[in-house]
Structure 1
Amino acid sequence: MQDETTTIERGRARDVLTGAQVLSGQLGKTIQRLRKAYNLSLSELAEQSGVAKSIISQIERNETNPTLATIWRLSQALDVSIERVLATGDEEPFIEKTSRADTPILVSDDGRVRLAIVGWIKTVEWLQWYEVTADPGGILESDPHQRGSVESLTVTEGVFEVEVSGTLQRARAGETLRYRCDRPHAVRCVDGPGRAIMVVIMKAAVME
């Protein structure tokens, strides 16, 4: 999967290469803004990207035209797409579209609960959200998430039941259940077909 994603990103990078020279004046500001947003020093970014500190400094001061390979390494170290690095400015509109066919689907062990991953991959370490569809009797059993994590299940159709450490609670369409998910927990579709939106907040501050 990583190799496939890298190939796609590199393909996109070739498509935007023509604009790199034109955007060089903005490029330095973008790199500096992203670096500071991550609280990275020049030395730290150099270490993570493999790009010399002096080169990064020159890029930020718009004193050099970096190669595509250099821009690629910096974008990877800053965990952003190369398109974002080459964006024309802070006010650049941001709209992404993912087709239904390209939306990853997770399936429970019993095959009766399906989670469409509609959340953004870049937030997966602290925020996840899914579109849940379930057949009657379907159950999704989960191991504990990180300490302090909270899960929210908003039912849009059918009836769901959540069990956490032996405690049960049901919710119907229009109702929401929130619960600690840093311990074994299970979501069941009591009456269906069922639909819900599940949001997982990792390391929720409210539970610390």
Structure 2
Amino acid sequence: MLNASTVVRQGEQVDRHSEQASSGEPSAGLARPPLARIAAAIRAERTRAGLSLTELARRAGLAKSTLSQLEAGTGNPSVETLWALSVALDVPFSRLVDPPRPRSRVLRRGEGVAVPAEQAHYVATLLSACPPGARRDLYTVHVEPGTPRVSEPHSPGTYEHAVLASGRVRIGASDDPVELEPGDCVSYPGDVPHLCEALEPGSSLVLLMEHR
């Protein structure tokens, strides 16, 4: 339930990253890549694939020393490096950076796990990873103040992800919804009663439904 949620805020990273790009220093407002988790994920996926350190480095086009540092948790991985490794390992990029998923979690603007590019003023922040075997449908939703929209449980395994574009809403599992402001994202189970209530006129959001 949402009382065990993880809170992250996403947005505005690119501008702050751009301001500091010339110095080569990461933006102070950005969450640092989770090095220990990335290191453990790379080691686990390399072991699963039955690849040596040398072979994985070769397939990913990396120096063996670079890969060794990443697996030791002492490297500083870029988007390009992690994408190369995900391709070489034949796994989604998200598997190398996404934390274990709690039942529900709120992603708030400005606090996500942000991974910058090496040369461009570009920062990628993962909001949600699609688990194996899932199907996703994407919607835009416009909601006005008044009677909340209360939904009955969908099919077992359904999960919903909502990113607020404008206004303010209260959304999530009916017994523990959360308030979102523009740029915030919440993920919650859709196979329990859930609701969406506009707290300001002109509220709109992007809703992604994930079906198992």
TM-score bracket, normalised by the shorter chain, equals 0.3 to 0.5
* TM-score, normalised via structure 2 length: 0.35
Structure with larger RCO (C-alpha < 8 A, sep 6+): 2
* TM-score, normalised via structure 1 length: 0.36
**Larger helix percent:** 1
